[in-house]
Amino acid sequence: MPIPRIIIAGTTSGVGKTSITLGILYILKNLGFKIQAFKVGPDFIDPSYHHFVTNSPSYNLDSWLMGKKGLIDTFEKYTIDKDIAVIEGVMGLFDGADGKNDFASTAHIAKILNSPIILVIDASKAARSLAAIAYGFLNFEKGIHIKGIILNKLSSHRHFHFIKDAFAKKIKIPIVGVVYKNKDLIFSERHLGLIPREELNNKKRKEILKSAKILSESLDTEKIMSLIVQIPYEKLTKKKIDNSRDHNIQTIKIAVALDESFNFYYQQNLDILQKMGAHLIFFSPLHDVRLPEEINGIIIGGGFPEILAHDLSKNISMIRSIKKRAESQIPLYAECGGLMYLSQSIKEGMPKYEYNKISRSSVNSNKTYKMIGLIDAITEMTDNLTLNYTQGKVINKSILGDINSIKGHEFHFSEMENVSMDSKFSYYLSKGKGIIDQKDGIVVYNTLASYTHLHFSNTKLPRHFILNCKKFSRK
């Protein structure tokens, strides 16, 4: 039978979906349920917070990156032994890949999974008008099931009664949570979202769990549980999910960068690599002296290398270790933050509001820090956010094999300047910005470094990477 499930959606970004989701996860965890958390869209950070509360990895559901079948396969695979699925939405409920339809939106995923929805509304700057907003969401599109509303950031009980009175005749679904403004609710943010889980010290972790507990006390557990029901959905998979390892490919060792600077990884990507026979060895470009010994490949994911650029630049032995291995033709795959780390240098110039949200003695505006220098370009931080789904054709082969096209996403505040004119690119993007002139994926030695983040539900990508690592191991 399909697992009971609920989607936590919002009217817009910033209404408090993540904090509300953590509150609900906290309730279910303490009730003794085995929970599987998911995040709609390509976000890396929110799933790490889900993991923190549930002590179990959270996974992304993205119809653009995975396709409908891949999305349902993912949902079924990771809920096979769980009691309840809690799915955090992305942006506003109907915001997707473009404005023409709801493709890749939270509403789209809700339709695919036939999931009930709880709608979170920021009530901080309105009262009766919120009834009009709720009414619009309830009647905007058929085929979705908004079953409850949570009002967030209310100023007073009087404020709530104004809203309650406005809802009385127009809104026929229940209010299942009323959250008042509270200085004890601490959810720190950064320019790309919440601070990555890897950067949280024990004090902040305790504060977040305390905030989740406080939020849980503002939610109507009984009403929320009544909405989490078993509803059938279109089941595409007909065979039993295969979680066994692929023994056709010998075990190879892949070093994966993971620390405060590099932590943007889809958990499913790591799972797929391991299933295909890879032994993942995590290392820190910040703290380790050199790469692990006897490795056959390297992956450097996204993150915030600009925040600790000073410390990264001081770890000269690691910089030399990575560059030497790359020059030896080891397969190296880098995305976004990894691309920045492989460039000649990172020039700060970060968004002004960034400095108001973090406290780091090493941050010094307008300074330039030397990086690995494998990519002949300079990374410069800007005030402009690049946020797109990406799609393109492959114009040059790389360590990801003989594929014709790619789909992914890009999400960064940096630009590549002084890119060498003889740089070799793997992708030409029909959708998205890329590194320069809609070209992305610089190829040098046996390295591929791009702004585009890829999802390995297209299993050709990790399989080719592992096969290239296997070839390298024979040298």
Question: What would the DSSP string read from start to end of 443-462?
Answer: EETTEEEES-EE-TTSTHHH
Does residue 81 lie in a domain region? yes
Q: Let me know if residue 42 belongs to a domain.
A: yes
Tell me if 233 is assigned to some domain: no
Ranges in the chain, pLDDT < 50: 1, 189-193, 236-239, 351-364
Q: Of 179, 210, 227, which residue is a domain's last? A: 227
243 CB-contact burial (10 Å; exposed 0-12 / middle 13-18 / buried 19+): exposed
DSSP SS3 for 125: coil
- Asked whether residue 218 is assigned to any structural domain, the reply reads yes
For 151: left if phi > 0, alpha if psi spans -120 to 50, otherwise beta; the answer is beta
Q: Is residue 104 part of a domain?
A: yes
Residues 213 and 328 in one domain: no
For the stretch 288-316, pLDDT in tens is 999 999 999 999 999 999 999 999 999 99
**CA separation, residue 48 to residues 18, 81, 162, 194, 266 (Å):** 11, 20, 37, 10, 10
Residue 408 CB neighbour total at 10 angstroms:
27
Q: Rounded CA gap, 126 and 163, in Å?
A: 9
Query: Can you tell me which residue has the tokens 């009009």?
Result: 132
Q: Is-contact 71 109, C-beta < 8 A?
A: yes
Closest CA to 181 of 119, 124, 118, 133: 124
**Per-residue confidence (pLDDT) for residue 209, from 0 to 100:** 84
**Are the C-beta atoms of residues 303 and 340 closer than 8 Å to each other?**
no
183 and 289, same domain (yes or no): no
Pair of tokens at residue 355: 């400095």
Report yes or no on 290 lying in a domain.
yes
Q: Which residues are catalytic?
A: 336
- Dist. CA 472–CA 446, nearest whole Å: 10
Tokens of residue 128, six digits: 């009766």
184 within 8 A of 211, measured Cβ to Cβ:
yes
Angle (nearest 5°) at CA 242 between 240 and 244: 150
pLDDT at 361 (0 to 100): 39
Cβ distance 280 to 274 under 8 Å?
yes
Rg (CA), the chain: 23
Cα torsion through 163, 168, 170, 172, rounded to 10: 110
Co-location of 284 and 180 in the same domain: no
| Residue 416 pLDDT | 97
Q: Are 98 and 92 in contact (CB under 8 A)?
A: no
Range of the domain at 316: 252-473
pLDDT at res. 200: 55
The pLDDT, as a whole number, for residue 25 is: 96
Same domain, 43 and 160: yes
Residue type, 103: F
Residue at 272: amino acid letter: I
Q: What is the residue-wise DSSP string for 179-234?
A: EE--TT----EETTEEPPGGG--HHHHHHHHHHHHHHHTTB-HHHHHHH-------
Q: Could you tell me if residue 239 is inside a domain?
A: no
- Kindly report the pTM of this predicted structure: 0.90
Q: Could you tell me if 285 and 358 lie in one domain?
A: yes
The residue length of the chain stands at 475
Q: For residues 48 and 133, give the distance between their C-alpha atoms in angstroms, rounded to a whole number.
A: 31
Judge if 150 and 53 occupy the same domain. Answer: yes
DSSP-assigned beta bridge partners for residue 440: 427
Return the structure tokens found at 85: 């699925």
In a shared domain, residues 332 and 384: yes
CA distance linking residue 292 with residue 289, whole number of Å: 9
Q: At 335, which CATH number?
A: 3.40.50.880
**259 in the same domain as 153:** no
82 & 16 share domain: yes
DSSP string, 236-289: ---S----S--TTS--EEEEEE-SSSEEE--HHHHHHHHHTTEEEEEE-TTT-S
Element (H, E) at 64: helix 63-79
- pLDDT, tens only, 74-119: 999 999 999 999 999 999 999 998 889 999 999 999 999 999 999 9
Question: What is the number of domains present in the chain?
Answer: 2
Within this chain, do residues 134 and 277 fall inside the same structural domain, yes or no?
A: no
Nearest by Cα to 299 from 286, 311, 285 = 285
Number of C-beta neighbours around residue 409 at 10 A: 25
**In a shared domain, residues 280 and 171:** no
| Cα–Cα dist 298/281, whole Å | 9
412: closest CA among 376, 379, 445, 439?
379
Q: What is the CATH number of the domain that holds 27?
A: 3.40.50.300
Which of 172, 193, 227 is the last residue before a domain boundary? 227
Q: Is 404 helix (H, G, I), strand (E, B) or coil?
A: coil
CB 388 within 8 A of CB 374: no
Report the SS3 class of residue 298.
strand
DSSP state of 333: E
- Residue 236 domain-assigned? no
Residues 221 and 281 in one domain: no
C-alpha to C-alpha distance for 51 and 18, rounded to whole angstroms: 12
